[in-house]
Structures are given as structure tokens and as C-alpha cells.
Structure 1
Amino acid sequence: MRRTPLACAFAGLTLTLAACGGGDGGPSEGDGKAAAGAPLTGRGPITLATGKDRSGNMQKMVDAWNRAHPDQQARVIELPDEPNDQRQQMIQNATTRSDAYSILNLDVVWTAEFAANRWLAQLPEGPGGLDTSKLLPATVTTGEYRGRLFAMPLTSDAGLLYYRTDLLEKAGVADPPSTWQAMWAACDKVKALPEGKGVDCFLTEVGKTEGLTVSTAEAINSAGGTIVGPDGRPTVNTPQAKAGLDFLVKAVKDGRMPKAALTLDGEGGRRHFQAGKVLFHRQWPYQYDLANKTDGSSKVAGRFGVAPIPGPNGPGAANLGGHNYAISAFAKNKATALDFIKYMADGAQQKANSLATSQAPTVAALYDDPDMVKKYAFLPTLKTAIEKAKSRPSAVKYGDVTSAIQGAVYDALGGRTSTGQALTGLQSKLGQLTTAQ
């Protein structure tokens, strides 16, 4: 799977930034060294830097590796739960050229930044290397930078709409909503029920975290707008983008979302849904297994369904998420790290992990696997969502880009600026960040 390299452009939504390759104090890549593949050597202990292992299944997979590789033990290093904090700790580790992290579990939009700064080792493909031919094509592009593979897709993601089947049934609503207006109408019917008292209508992440960038991208894309155009230039100051942002702002202002929405992160939202406090919840696939647990941690087990996210005139445009494994350029035992990635990316391992956690796999055939479909009936919906999903802007200075989006949108959500002012200011700020040299 190869793409023609474009000077400082990454197909579609990738931003072309000032300094074209140097970010967060990183060196320029004008000499092309960042893209040069080098043999991955060294065997011995390795570490995996990752976000929270909420299911405990990652550790089980690592334990199985360790039993089979007594001289090449892997150790999980759990980073903070919030993606912004994970990214910052990984950057701090890289800028000091530390070998503390061997493998990095990267959000899909971090590849460009980490590869351009030469913080990652290029991954070999083909015989003896990694095989991406069996993966969903949309996931493969998230691990590439300038046509070369720097991160192996391990899990994918696309935003889904979780909804309370029991409450919709009581309200006489036969199908989950496919439009924003249908969602509000269904909510009004549910809230008129005794069972609907105190239940919030809708929740998506609007706290000042990475989740806000995701929610913003989904709302704008669903309304037919974009944050960045195919040429890498910002396109956020448009009527379509305003319609998307207006949807989020009005949902907060009109009380469609809970008062706590502006402070909840993804895990806070999950707990809110599992406590039975919200009717419609935009969330990632991982929530499915957790919300269906019958150990007392979820009050909605067996009483919810999953559908595509709605848009203004029909199903919306989900955001493409997921996580990829990359090898730190400063790791000691890169050969072991590569073998570990092969082990974790294997189809059998992905299937076992998905069955245990409801995380979306990247191996395409698993979406038609009988065992998988039997447990997760929503897999065809998820596959379609991933194939049609839109990406957040991927950028060499991703921190600056996502901070600009979060700042502008959060001010609009809090009523400090109008949506028009927020988008005008964001257009200008992104324009400065995307000025090519």
C-alpha cells in the first residue's frame, strides 16, 4: 500500500506546516534522514508505552509473550488516561533521546509529528517485515508518513451513536435517529415519560481535551464542511462548518447535553452513560463491552444499541480513530520490538483482543468473522463507518493545531464568542500554522 510522496502534504486532511517537518523543537528533515530505513537490531527486554489498559487484556497478551520469550520480556508502562497528556509524555521522552520507551502506542493522528521529528524508526515491510495487505486500507494510511510505514495499525475506531433501546421502545420510537432533528424529537418523547425524568438527551465530548477536536471534526464534516482542504489550507470559515459548530453550541445552550459536559472527558462520559443518565451517547467501540458487563458496573447492560452517528440530513461523518504501534528511534532492542509488534498485530491476536474488549480490529476479514459478528452485531455498521470516516487534521505540529481548535470551539461553547467569531479566528490561526516555506 503506497502513496506518492507530496512535498509536505499528506493526502487529504494533512496540514502543511511552517518549517515543513520540524516541530516541537525537532530537527528539520530536509536531508531526508527521517524517512531513511535502517536495520532494526538488538534483542532483549522492551517496554510498551500506552494509555490505560482499561480491560486488562493488553497485560494478558503481554504475559503470553513473556512466557514464550523469557529472554525478551516486555513491560507495559501505563501513561495518563487523557491523550494530550500521553502525547506530551512521549514527546518529553523523545526530546531527551531516552530509551525508556521501546514501543509507542500512538493515536492515529500523531504519526506525522513523530515521524517528521525523527522520533520513530521506519518499519520494514514485505518478507521479514510487516504485512499491511490484509488491513482495512483506511487504517494503513494512518501509519504512513511520506509514503513510508512508521506505525503499524493495531486497533481502529470510528464514532458510533449508543442509544437506550428500552427508553426508545417505551416512547414508541422504532428506529435510532439518523438526523439531528430526529434525535431531538426522540429525546422529547422519552423525557415525557416517567422513566425519562432526569435522563440527559445527548452527550459527545466537549470538554477541553482531544475529544473536543474529535467532536468538532465530526460535527463539521457531518454538515458538509471541512477543517482543512485537500491542498492543506484551512477551510473552516464556511457556512457548512458554522452549521456543524452551531449544532454543538446549541446542544449545550439548550440543555440537550448535561451541564457537566464541558468538564467530562471520554471516560467520564462512559461512566455517565453506564449509570443510565443519558439517552444518546457518541462514543468509540470500546464502550460496548464495558457497558454490557453484568458485574454491577453498568446499569444499561442489555438495554442499549449502536447506530451510525446522525447528521443534519442523514447519517453523519464519523471520525477515524484508532491506535498504532511504533518503535522509538532511541530504543535499544528494536528487533525484539518489531517481533512484538508482529505478534500483537497478528489476526488471531486481534480477534482475541476484540472479543475480549470490543476494540475495533484493523484486519478486514475479522469484520465478517462468524464469532465476531455473533458477539458484536454492530460490526458491519462499524466497518462501514471506518471506511467512510474522516480524519482529524494530521500535522507535524499537531499539538498546536488541536490546541487552536479546542480553544476556539470551547470559547464558543461557553458563550464567550459567537460561532462566527470562533471560526474566523480559527481560520486565521490555522492559516499561520499552515504557511509553507
Structure 2
Amino acid sequence: MRFERSHTRKAAFVAVASSLVLLASACGGGDDGSSSGDSGSSGGAALEGRGPITFATGKDTSGNLTNQVAAWNSQHPDEKVTVSELPESADQQRAQMIQNAQIKSDAFSVLNLDVVWTAEFAANRWVTELPPDQFPDLGKLLPSTLDTAKYRDKLYGVPVTSDGGLLYYRKDLLDKAGVQPPKTWEEMSAACAKVKALPEGKSMNCYAGQFEKYEGLTVNFSEAVNGAGGVVVGDDGKPNVDTPEALAGLNFLVDGLKSGEFPKASITYKEEEGRRAFQEGSLVFLRNWPYVYALAQKTDGSSKINGKFAVAPLPGMSSGGVSTLGGHNYAISEFAKNKATAADFIKFMSSEERQKANIEKTSQAPTWASLYDDPALNKQFPYLAPLKASIESAKSRPKVVKYGDVTTAIQEAAYGAMTGTMPPKDALAGLQTKLSTLITQ
């Protein structure tokens, strides 16, 4: 998730540092059943006011936000954007945005929201409903990304980056060991054993994801459950996590740590810790987001594996895995001044031109469908076609207004099982009970 994703933060910076205690995360989609990119209906109040604005976003791990915002500022000297760079942790970003909204502060104008935060921010009226007719390019975005920006069929954000989980692997070592990229967890374990039998692989760890107790663990747990054929919340909106399939998914994570195939330190990994471990050459396989690709390919000495790795779809229990849908939407704070400028900034940053410039520099997944078919981009980023398929088939995290409580419950159950403080079966039974009280129809 960037989280995100994700993965997707940038800078021209003024650093904001509120110190907060978080619990709860955010949420997407609510009972939003919408899916089309229709930009014909108008809704939402008129967006008025022009002048300087502030863009609140997570820590810029890509290094490219400065360029993107500078491009806007050079064209709009009287409507300059100042970046308030929030912490790297998605949970802490959300906490600061909520604190700002609860006191009705106008300190933030445009918010860079994780796709699962839409329902919570919209339901609490912390973000402004957007008139779709002011954003004429919505129909050109991947439908799955646009769906994340809606709540109860109304638009509250514009998708600027998407995300699908990918399996990064050491192609040089798999080739030398004579094995193909794995499609199942069992194949991944076998491939890792063969790589570790090589002199170059003797000291390497097999696999890591994002296992620290934060939003990334919700993503990785969900992918493990889905990859085993289970669900956390079913299509009917009801939790259904106390099942043999979910147990098989959780046991993949538990057994990986217990057996030593996952490094002990991975229980503390967020996106960046995993990326650095992979780039330093200590991992054979890594689950992470597309943004890692450009950083791992750098030739400035920051990556020891440039030219030595490749990307494949996530593996699953008996066949290919299932990604959790990630990405970020830009929304306008309900309490912002200069909302007309904020809307124009969002249109600028979400345009095909800016998204293309961003992927070229950062490898972050765009939301424009056309960019996945761009020949030059596919040559530079050969994983774009499978990534598009991954995003289109990815499963969303639970779409509930109380997402913060839901993701906290998921993290506590998964982390407890992975650290050995509760048996996996008990963890899932407790999680089912907890989710049943939090998710109401």
C-alpha cells in the first residue's frame, strides 16, 4: 500500500511533524457499487477559490515529487503548491490527516489518500465530493482504480497511482540454479533451496514481504489468504476468515518465519526495509510494489543487484497468487481554501503526461489504461502487461467505514500468529468474531 503503496509520495518540501498516537487505518469504497468511468453526471458543490495550496503526502521514497510539483509551480506562480511530507508509515500519515480534519484545519488542501481510506474520509465528510464533469478524463483510467475513489456512487478523489503486488526475484541466481520463477509457494521454497546450494546463495534468505504490524501486514495477510483460495470478507460483505483456506494462507506466513525461510528481521519489515534487504543482495525473493523496480535498477551504487533481478506475478498455494489492490487517490480537504486551484492541481497531477513522466522516473503504476500499452514504457518496464492484469484482477481490502478498526484487528491476529503468541487457528477464530462486530450490513 503503499501502501503504499505505498507506495507514491513526493516532495517540494515543507515537513510537517505532528506527533500522534494512531490506531485505526483507513478505508475505501464503502458500499460503493460503482465501476464505470462515466464523467457525465455533475455532483458536489462548486469548487471555488484560487491561490497557494498545500499537498499532504507520505514520505517521498521515489525522489520525483519535487520534479512533478516544480512543473506545476513553474506554470502557476500565483497558485504555488507546498508539499507537507508526512511519515513513511501509512498508518501515521492517516493519523495526521485525521487529526487535521477533526480540528477542521485548513493546513492541508490536497490529500494523498491510500485507496482504502475513501469510505472513512467521505463518510466523515473530511474530503469534498468532486463534480465528475470537472474531471473529463475519468473514463480513460483503469475502472478498478476509479472504483476506489468513489463512496456510495459519488466521487471523492482521483486515482493518480495504482499498485499491484509483484514478486521480485534474483534472475541471475535462479538461472544458474536451473529453475523458473515459481507459481506456487512450494515451488518458491524449492527454488530457494537450490539457490542456497550455490556458493553465491549460501548466506541468503529466501523470502520477505511486509510483516511489521501496520497496513502492509493487512495487505500481505490478505494476499496469503486469497492465494490459498480464501477470503477475509466475502463478496456479500460478511467476514469469512475462520476457514481452512484462510488457515492455509496464515500458515504460509507462520511457517515461513518458524522454518527460517523468512529472515527473523522480516517481522519488522515495511516496504522500505524489504526493498533495502533485496537491493543489498540478502533476499532471493521479495514481495513488494512496482516502485521498487526503478530503485533496484539504479547504477549509482545504491543497488547491488541492478541487472540481476526480474519480476513475476505473486505465487499462491496451488497456482498463481492474488494481489491486494493498492494505490493512491488525490482528494480535496473539506476544510481547504482555494479548492478551485486544488482541483486543477489534481487534474494536472493525474494527467496522462504527468503520469507518464512519473512512471519513467519511479516505476510507480499509473492509472491511465493507455500507458500500459505504450511500447516505449513496456520496453523500459517489461512487467507492465502482467501488472495491468494484476491490478484488474486484484482484490480490495474490506470496503467498510470502520476500516481503521478492521485493519487493526487483522494486524493483531496475523502478527500474533506469526510471532507465536497465539495459535493460527485461534487467531482466525478471534478475528472472525471481531470482524463480525465491526462489519455490519
TM-score, structure 1 as length reference: 0.91
- Matched residue SS, 1:361: coil
Alignment of 1:310-389 (within 5 A): 310-389=315-394
Deviation track 1:296-344 (CA, whole Å, cap 9, x = no partner) reads 1100101000000000111100111001100000000100000000001
CA contact (8 A) 1:123 1:130 kept: no
Give 1:130 shift. 4.2
Gaps of 5+ in 1: 1-6, 13-34
Percentage of matched positions with identical amino acids: 59
CA contact (8 A) 2:33 2:152 kept: no
Quote the Cα distance in structure 1 between the aligned partners of 2:99 and 2:248: 38
Give 1:123 shift. 1.0
Quote the Cα distance in structure 1 between the aligned partners of 2:440 and 2:183: 38
CA contact (8 A) 1:134 1:364 kept: yes
* Over 2 Å off, 4+ runs: 7-12, 128-131
Partner of 2:123: 116
Deviation track 1:67-98 (CA, whole Å, cap 9, x = no partner) reads 11111010111000000000000000000000
Quote the Cα distance in structure 2 between the aligned partners of 1:101 and 1:360: 25
CA contact (8 A) 1:124 1:130 kept: no
Aligned AA (2:46) = P
Aligned AA (1:131) = D
Are 1:306 and 2:328 matched, yes or no?
no
Quote the Cα distance in structure 1 between the aligned partners of 2:213 and 2:203: 25
- Matched residue SS, 1:313: coil
Quote the Cα distance in structure 1 between the aligned partners of 2:428 and 2:221: 11
Partner of 2:83: 76
Aligned AA (2:141) = L
Partner of 1:150: 156
Quote the Cα distance in structure 2 between the aligned partners of 1:55 and 1:214: 21
Are 1:93 and 2:115 matched, yes or no?
no
- Matched residue SS, 1:281: strand
Gaps of 5+ in 2: 1-28, 35-41
Give 1:265 shift. 1.4
Partner of 1:172: 178
1:63 to 63, 70, 73: 70
CA contact (8 A) 2:62 2:291 kept: no
- Matched residue SS, 2:132: coil
- Matched residue SS, 2:167: strand
Partner of 1:183: 188
- Matched residue SS, 1:154: strand
Partner of 2:297: 292
Quote the Cα distance in structure 1 between the aligned partners of 2:245 and 2:378: 36
Quote the Cα distance in structure 1 between the aligned partners of 2:63 and 2:271: 18
Of stretches 285-294 and 370-379 in structure 1, the one that deviates more from structure 2 is: 370-379
Partner of 1:24: none
Give 1:199 shift. 0.5
Aligned AA (1:124) = P
Quote the Cα distance in structure 2 between the aligned partners of 1:123 and 1:131: 14
Partner of 2:22: none
- Matched residue SS, 1:360: coil
Partner of 1:30: none
Partner of 1:9: 31
Quote the Cα distance in structure 2 between the aligned partners of 1:273 and 1:189: 18
Q: How many residues align?
A: 406
Q: CA RMSD in A?
A: 1.4
Partner of 1:275: 280
